[in-house]
Amino acid sequence: MSHWRRLTWAFGLLLAVLVVGTLGYVAFGFGFVDAMYQTVTTVATVGFREVQPLSTGGKFFTMALILVGVSSTVYAFSVLIETLIEGRLFDSLGRRRMERNISSMQNHVIICGWGRVGRSIASEVDDAGRSLVVVDNEPDRLADCPYPMVTGDATQDSVLTAAGIERASSLIAAVDADAANSFIILSARAMRPDLFIVARARSFDSEEKLRRAGADRVVNPQHIGGARMAAFVLRPHVAEFVDVVMHDRNLEFRLEELPIGPSSPLAGKTLRDAQVRDRTGALVLAVRESHGDLRTNPSPDTSIEAGDLLIAIGTESELRALAALVEN
């Protein structure tokens, strides 16, 4: 039982004793205020005299009230002192504030795993201005987490529910065991069939299994890291440019992706008809079609349909103009 629940239960028990005591003395002929006063002085064992003489039944009732009331009072205040000394009351209040914060989130990212990979992911998501929730089953590991968090096993439906999976836009399974990531994916996919899920893979053999479990994308950090290091050796300037465009927030040019909704004025037009470059200055590098195919370096005759996604490069103002064009 949590300390907060123990504290609630203990003071609830004490309140119940006071109510029963008051009603008992009323039954023995006391007025309501006298009955309440008699109950409090009896439970508190302050030693004041009885408000009025007690019958034999009243004396037995008082003895029972003393035993139960004193025990309840001692228990309630011991739990209170323990909670205050250990700081758990403030922890509980902090958790409740965090739970309220998570419950108000919409379209956030759930990151399962607060290791080196999870920390790096959280930093990138936060820098992009997206809200996020971290899930990990090690309280000590979460001690330095500056983001909203849920302590628990991410393979459990209740933990994912606490992280707000029904309102999340995506989930990243980034714990350090492929089997655990598989269970997280299976649980998340069962709860949210439409959720976008990215999984971390430690071994090449696990990548296909994670996809079969329901991951939309699978990333092997060792493979990506090796390819990136090789690119810096083979094509250092290209690799540096891509790295800066993707991660340097101070650079004028950025890469962005923009979905084409059913009501978008670009739906059903070609890139030539939409005049994206002329009207916004942004350059469309690729079009991911609704059925999943990625068309790189699209020609002006490439048709844009609802459900497609444009991948474009440009300045911040150019990309804002493109976003307005896509949405208007």
* Collapsed DSSP state (helix, strand, coil) of residue 112: strand
Residue 43 pLDDT class (50, 70, 90 cuts): confident
- The domain ranges of the chain are 3-86, 105-219, 252-327
Q: Which two tokens stand for residue 29?
A: 């002929």
DSSP state of 144: G
CA 256, CA 250: separation in Å to the nearest integer? 15
pLDDT greater at residue 155 or residue 245:
155
Residue 185 pLDDT class (50, 70, 90 cuts): very high
* Collapsed DSSP state (helix, strand, coil) of residue 133: strand
So what's the pLDDT on residue 291?
A: 82
CA 233, CA 223: separation in Å to the nearest integer? 16
Q: Which two tokens stand for residue 30?
A: 């006391």
Q: Residue 3 pLDDT > 80, yes or no?
A: no
Per CATH, domain 252-327 is 3.30.70.1450:
yes
So what's the pLDDT on residue 160?
A: 95
Q: Residue 87 pLDDT > 60, yes or no?
A: no
Tell me the CA end-to-end span of the chain in Å, nearest whole number: 54
Distances (CA, A) of 237 to 233, 241, 242, 244, 282: 9, 6, 9, 10, 22
* Per-residue pLDDT tens over the stretch 204-225: 888 999 999 999 999 998 888 8
So what's the pLDDT on residue 132?
A: 95
Does 3-86 match 252-327 in CATH topology? no
Percent of the chain's residues with pLDDT above 70: 92
So what's the pLDDT on residue 204?
A: 85
* Per-residue pLDDT tens over the stretch 293-321: 888 989 888 999 999 999 998 888 888 89
Our CA angle for 20, 26, 27, nearest 5°, is 90
The superfamily (CATH) of domain 105-219 is: NAD(P)-binding Rossmann-like Domain (3.40.50.720)
* Per-residue pLDDT tens over the stretch 47-70: 677 778 888 888 888 889 888 888
Global confidence as pTM:
0.61
Give the residue among 277, 280, 327, 286 at the shortest CA–CA distance from 310: 286
So what's the pLDDT on residue 118?
A: 93
Give the residue among 191, 114, 181, 139 at the shortest CA–CA distance from 160: 191
So what's the pLDDT on residue 315?
A: 85
Per CATH, domain 3-86 is 1.10.287.70:
yes
Helices (H), 106-249: 116-127, 157-162, 178-191, 204-213, 221-234, 236-247
Mean pLDDT of 35-54: 82
Q: Residue 256 pLDDT > 80, yes or no?
A: yes
Q: Residue 134 pLDDT > 90, yes or no?
A: yes
CA 210, CA 199: separation in Å to the nearest integer? 7
Count of all residues that appear for the chain in the document = 328
CA 260, CA 272: separation in Å to the nearest integer? 16
Residue where the block lists tokens 């300390």: 3
Dihedral sign (CA 280, 255, 173, 212): positive
Q: Residue 174 pLDDT > 70, yes or no?
A: yes
CA 315, CA 251: separation in Å to the nearest integer? 9
CA 247, CA 241: separation in Å to the nearest integer? 10
Residue 248 pLDDT class (50, 70, 90 cuts): low
